[in-house]
């Protein structure tokens, strides 16, 4: 069994088990190498334990299987060789009640095959040894999980720094205690962090990095001069590769390096495609006073649809918002307190998304983004009220289009002045009118109690000094409220 299958839980050094004073174990043969580790404990009295071992175990035996004339033959050599062939980490021999001492021939065989041999005293039970192994493994597992969690947090923080790629590499090198290198599509070293390895290791890592290049997701590993090497392809077709060289190999190192690879895939992906740079350029130009219509081509379109979305039964988070943007075909996502807004280029039609309620505006030019935002908000409110997965703003011409925009806005400001200082009132009035005066559906759309809707509408009627049951009054108010 050249490649023993071992559990994912971190192994423990045999020396840690020997240090347990309550067990009083004593190593009497084999190498005292601090690198000897144990993946578990198994008790067997079989003359050939090979079929029952996975590899990495401390095999415990009281010698019941040993024949009387074993000292004069090859029994112990055969027995120990089979344990070594199975990948056993060490052998524990219990003294008493079968044998008063560890057989000398067994000691000699363990020395010959370099298998650590541990004497288990009479007062120590095999179940006690096994329990100690699992206790130490659980403690090691907890320590390793904490190390991985802290590394993930530090890598995420590094990715948000002004120099994200070098920062992620520095943090990865520190966490694995080695070297982290980012290779470009041509195999050239773009950035690196950590201790410089020996020439042989550096050359081997560069050669290994050529294996998974362009085949993401792909990983290649190797060991050179006692140093563990790993290479991770970053993103499909990008050609970037993360190389890691670590003098020691901990069970959580692969997880830590994989997190770094994902972060670097995102960072290098934007640099490679140019979309990240284009969005940054567009933002800078807007902040410096450029007109939206001159910036829009950098974002990927001439006409746009604004989508407002709310997840069903929960508050939106950054991960869900990004996933929604990806599903709608746009990276232009804004996460507010209770709604996600996505700016989608025209031609990528917004479709219903499982677990979301959507409201979509008409397709507009950049100078009309503000109006489209209001349209999407009203469409979302209507979608929630009628319990539809998606409502689109109607784009057909209306009577309101016959009135010049500046005159309509002046009229709306004057008519709504008594309630405009209280956004909750105007929003409730707009939603209530859009739902034909339905108290229940308005309450659902606004996530308030129906009595709250009644109180707000009554307050609006009082402040406006208007009869809200009059269809002419409603028409005028609706005309005014449609102005953003």
Is this structure's pTM higher than 0.85? no
In a domain, 144, yes or no: no
Q: How many residues does the chain have?
A: 484
Residues 443-469 have a mean pLDDT of 90
Q: Is residue 150 part of a domain?
A: no
Shared-domain flag, residues 388 and 405: no
Q: Is 388 found in the same domain as 403?
A: no
Question: Is residue 379 domain-shared with residue 405, that is, in the same domain?
Answer: no
Inside any domain, residue 304: yes
- The answer to whether position 278 is within a domain reads no
- Let me know: does 63 contact 74? Beta carbons within 8 Å: no
CATH code at 102?
Answer: 3.40.1390.20
pLDDT of amino acid 405: 61
Does residue 152 sit within a domain?
Answer: no
Q: What is the pLDDT of residue 96?
A: 84
Same domain, 337 and 385: yes
Position 14 confidence tier, pLDDT thresholds 50, 70, 90: very high
Distance CA 448, CA 180 (A): 54
Of 45, 43, 46, 47, the closest CA to residue 57 belongs to 43
For range 367-372, the mean pLDDT? 85
Number of independent structural domains in the chain: 4
- Could you read off the pLDDT of 208-266 as tens digits, one per residue? 888 765 554 578 888 888 889 998 888 655 678 899 999 877 778 888 888 888 888 87
- Give the whole-angstrom CA distance, residue 464 versus residue 433: 15
Q: Is the pLDDT of residue 312 over 70?
A: yes
295 falls within a domain: no
Q: What is the pLDDT of residue 277?
A: 61
- Percent of the chain clearing pLDDT 70 (strictly above): 88
**Per-residue pLDDT reduced to its tens digit, 49-85:** 999 999 999 999 999 999 887 777 899 999 999 999 9
| % of the chain with per-residue pLDDT over 90 | 34
Is the peptide bond prior to 97 cis by the omega test (within 30 degrees of 0)?
yes
**Where is the domain boundary, 377, 392, 407?**
392
Among 273, 289, 321, residue at a domain's last position: 273
337 and 410 both lie in a single domain: no
**Closest of 222, 215, 379, 400 to residue 307, by C-alpha:** 379
Same domain, 386 and 410: no
Residues 378 and 414 in one domain: no
Assess whether 266 and 307 both reside in one domain. no
Same domain, 35 and 127: yes
Tell me, what's the pLDDT at 402?
53
Domain holding 420: CATH number?
Answer: 1.10.10.2840
- In the structure, what pLDDT confidence band is assigned to residue 121 with cuts at 50, 70 and 90? very high
pLDDT digits (tens, 9 = 90+) for 276-297: 566 667 767 776 777 777 777 7
Co-location of 404 and 428 in the same domain = yes
Instruction: Render pLDDT for 318-344 as a digit per residue (tens, 0 to 9).
Output: 767 777 777 787 778 888 778 899 988
Residue 6 in any domain: the answer is no
Residue 37 lies in a domain: yes
Rounded to 5 degrees, what are φ and ψ at 158?
Answer: -65, -35
End-to-end alpha-carbon separation of the chain, Å? 73
Taking a C-beta distance cutoff of 8 angstroms, is the pair 212, 233 a contact? Answer: yes
pLDDT value, residue 216: 47
Four-CA torsion 256, 262, 266, 267, nearest 10 degrees: 30
**DSSP type of residue 171:** H
Is 387 in the same domain as 405? no
Q: What is the pLDDT of residue 117?
A: 97
Helix (H, G, I), strand (E, B) or coil at 119: strand
Do 386 and 407 lie in one domain? The reply is: no
Give dist(CA 62, CA 76) in Å, integer. 14
Sequence-ordered list of residues with C-beta below 8 angstroms from that of 239, at least 6 positions apart, any chain: 184, 185, 186, 213, 214, 272
Which range of residues forms the domain containing residue 439?
399-481
């Amino acid at each position: 069994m050249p490649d023993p299958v071992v559990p994912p839980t971190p192994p423990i050094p045999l020396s840690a088990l020997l240090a347990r004073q309550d067990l009083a174990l004593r190593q009497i043969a084999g190498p005292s190498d601090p690198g000897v580790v144990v993946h578990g404990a198994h008790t067997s009295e079989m003359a050939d334990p090979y079929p029952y071992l996975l590899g990495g175990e401390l095999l415990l035996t009281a010698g019941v299987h040993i024949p009387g004339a074993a000292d004069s033959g090859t029994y112990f050599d055969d027995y120990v060789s089979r344990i070594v062939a199975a990948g056993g980490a060490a052998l524990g021999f219990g003294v008493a009640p079968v044998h008063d001492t560890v057989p000398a021939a067994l000691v000699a065989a363990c020395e010959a095959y370099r298998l650590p041999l541990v004497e288990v005293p009479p007062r120590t039970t095999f179940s006690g040894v096994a329990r100690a192994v699992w206790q130490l493994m659980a403690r090691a597992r907890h320590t390793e999980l904490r190390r991985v969690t802290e590394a993930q947090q530090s890598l995420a923080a590094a990715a948000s720094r002004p120099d994200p790629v070098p920062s992620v590499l520095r943090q990865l090198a520190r966490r694995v205690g080695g070297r982290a290198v980012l290779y470009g599509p041509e195999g050239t070293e773009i950035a690196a962090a950590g201790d410089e390895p020996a020439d042989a290791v550096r050359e081997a890592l560069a050669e290994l990095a050529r294996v998974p290049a362009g085949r993401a997701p792909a990983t290649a590993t190797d060991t050179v001069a006692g140093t563990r090497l790993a290479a991770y392809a970053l993103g499909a077709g990008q050609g970037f590769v993360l190389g890691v060289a670590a003098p020691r190999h901990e069970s959580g190192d692969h997880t830590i390096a994989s997190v770094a690879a994902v972060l670097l895939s995102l960072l290098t992906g934007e640099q490679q495609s140019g979309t990240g740079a284009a969005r940054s350029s567009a933002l800078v130009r807007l902040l410096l006073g450029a007109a939206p219509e001159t910036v829009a081509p950098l974002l990927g379109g001439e006409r746009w649809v604004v989508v407002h979305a709310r997840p069903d039964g929960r508050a939106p988070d950054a991960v869900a918002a990004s996933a929604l943007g990806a599903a709608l075909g746009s990276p232009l996502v804004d996460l507010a307190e209770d709604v996600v807004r996505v700016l989608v280029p025209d031609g990528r039609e917004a479709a219903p998304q499982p677990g979301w309620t959507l409201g979509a505006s008409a397709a507009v030019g950049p100078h009309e983004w503000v109006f489209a935002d209001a349209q999407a908000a009203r469409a979302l409110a209507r979608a929630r009220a009628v319990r539809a997965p998606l409502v689109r703003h109607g784009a057909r011409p209306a009577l309101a289009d016959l009135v010049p925009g500046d005159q309509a806005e002046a009229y709306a400001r004057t008519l709504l002045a008594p309630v405009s200082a209280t956004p909750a009132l105007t929003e409730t009035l707009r939603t209530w009118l859009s739902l034909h005066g339905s108290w229940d559906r308005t309450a659902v759309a606004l996530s308030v109690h129906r009595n709250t809707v009644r109180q707000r509408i009554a307050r609006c009627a009082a402040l406006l000094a208007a009869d809200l049951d009059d269809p002419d009054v409603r028409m005028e108010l609706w005309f005014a409220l449609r102005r953003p």
